[in-house]
Amino acid sequence: MPRSIDLAQALSTFSQPWSPRTVAVMNDYDVRVVKAHGEFTWHSHPDTDELFLVVGGSLTIRMEAEEVILGSGQMYVVPKGVRHQPFSAEGADVVLIEPSATVNTGDTRSHLTFERAVVNASRQ
């Protein structure tokens, strides 16, 4: 029988903000969960779009020309090449969908650059 992914369980396996965990792979794309809190690094992904889906809390995606505020159940796709900075004052649980080779800080290495990590989040 196929196993479903338990996002709450996956998010409970770590507490460090801005350290995404891969919970599933679809073709060459990772489905990642991340705890957002405070400011992330300004960066862009020159070769790919990045999908943010907030599953709890509130996330602001700052861009040079505007900002998008997302609440629980809302999503936004940052177009490839657009510089952005995710920010969450109170914290947010977020699902990201991006190519598996994508580095979380994109074209800007920083102290928040996190190596790809996979967690088992399957439910039977």
Interval 59-75: pLDDT, tens: 999 999 999 999 999 99
State phi, psi for 11 to the nearest 5 degrees: -65, -25
Tens digits of per-residue pLDDT, 22-47?
999 999 999 999 999 999 999 999 99
Say how many domains are in the chain. Answer: 1
User: What does the DSSP 8-state code read for residue 10?
Assistant: H
Range of the domain at 57: 4-123
Flag whether pLDDT at 51 surpasses 70. yes
Flag whether pLDDT at 122 surpasses 50. yes
Task: Specify the pLDDT at position 88.
Answer: 98
Flag whether pLDDT at 19 surpasses 50. yes
Flag whether pLDDT at 121 surpasses 90. no
Higher pLDDT, 2 or 16: 16
Contact in structure between 9 and 95 (CB atoms under 8 Å): no
The domain that holds 49 is classified in CATH as 2.60.120.10
Flag whether pLDDT at 124 surpasses 70. no
Quickly list DSSP for 26-89: ETTEEEEEEEEEEE---B--TT--EEEEEEEEEEEEEESS-EEEEETT-EEEEPTT--EEEEEE
